[in-house]
Every structure is written in C-alpha cells, then in structure tokens.
C-alpha cells in the first residue's frame, strides 16, 4: 500500500510510518505538500476536521500512484472550563482524516492532545488565527520548537509524532476493517 501523507512535516510522516509498522502493514509513506483551506491555526473541532479532510483530498489528487491519503490537522479546541490557576481552557488536538482512491467514505480519528495555556492562545487570537498559531507564540516565549509543543509540554517524554500516532493507528485500522 502506498500512502500519501498530506504534509512535508517529518512529525506527521513519522507518525504514519510508526502506525503502519505497528499494524504490520506492508506500506510506504510519502510526504505531499497539501493545502488545508483553513486558517493557519484551526479553531474548533469542525474546522480542524475540515482541514484534515481537505489536506487528505488534496494529497490524494497530487499523488496518483498512492492508494490512500492521510491528512493530519492540529487544532485548538475550547474545553469550556478553566482551572483558574493556569488559565488553561484550550487543547491542541490532532485530527486524522483518511481517504481512499478506491473505497467510498472517510475514516476519522483523533490523536493525543495537550492543554495550551490561554496566554499563547490569546496572543495568537489577537494577531489573527489566519496567520498566527498558538504554537508560534509558545515557541517565541519559551524558546522551543514551533512545530513540536508536545515535546515542550511533556519535557521531551513525547514528540508530536508520538501524539499523532495513536489517531493514525485507529484511522488505518478502521479503514482496513471496513475494506478488507
């Protein structure tokens, strides 16, 4: 099976490789630059899922030799509550969308998320999510990678790929269960 990963991000490509190896699938993953058609910082589950779906569809169209495409979009989801002390009310959650060239349907899952302090969300929101992310605000404030806040928040116990991985396993396993 040849898989188009709808990104050039090594975090996302690595998560897909770990997932197909975990499931014992004979596969190959290639990164494909794909558009999400949403803001730079997706806000809400609907926008995040839409971005992952658009990415997957775009990648499948750009990679005609691939059987499936996997779009991964991290977005901020408001929890509706704050603990007061840290002001955390948002979670960064990876949404995974899988589309197939030969099977009708879409398969979705989410990976592991983490809380994002409101201070970073507020700064990005003030500048505009269309061009600014909470991850970029975090990176500038604490001098960490703007593409791997997961490593910062877990003291390097987990990388972003590790957080995305369980969602990719679930989406791939559901796809295989439905199509084989």
Total tally of structural domains belonging to the chain? 1
H helix or E strand, kind and range, residue 49:
helix 45-62
Tokens 């199509």 belong to which residue? Answer: 179
Q: What is the CATH number of the domain that holds 86?
A: 3.90.950.10
Instruction: Pick the closest to residue 90 from 151, 138, 161, 39 (CA basis).
Output: 138
Residues of the chain short of pLDDT 50, as ranges, are none
Q: So what's the pLDDT on residue 83?
A: 56
DSSP string, 123-139: HHHHH-TTT--HHHHHH
CA dihedral 30, 48, 153, 18 (to 10 degrees): -30
Range of the domain at 145: 2-179
pTM: 0.93
| 137-179 pLDDT tens trace | 999 999 888 888 899 888 999 999 999 999 999 999 999 999 9
Query: 3-state DSSP call for residue 90?
Result: strand
């Amino acid at each position: 099976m040849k898989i188009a990963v709808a990104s050039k991000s090594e975090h996302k490509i690595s998560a897909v490789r770990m997932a197909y190896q975990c499931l014992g699938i004979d596969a190959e993953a290639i990164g494909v630059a794909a558009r999400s058609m949403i803001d730079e910082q997706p806000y809400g589950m609907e926008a995040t899922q839409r971005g992952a779906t658009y990415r997957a569809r775009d990648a499948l169209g750009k990679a005609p030799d691939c059987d499936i495409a996997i779009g991964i979009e991290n977005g901020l989801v408001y929890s509706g509550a704050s603990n007061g002390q840290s002001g955390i009310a948002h979670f960064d959650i990876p949404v995974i969308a899988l589309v197939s060239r030969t099977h009708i349907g879409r398969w979705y899952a989410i990976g592991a998320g983490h809380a994002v302090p409101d201070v970073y969300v507020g700064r990005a929101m003030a500048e505009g999510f269309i061009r600014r992310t909470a991850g970029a605000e975090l990176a500038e404030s604490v001098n960490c990678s703007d593409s791997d806040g997961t490593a910062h928040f877990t003291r390097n116990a987990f990388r972003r790929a590790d957080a995305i991985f369980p969602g990719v396993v679930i989406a791939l396993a559901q796809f295989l269960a439905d199509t084989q």
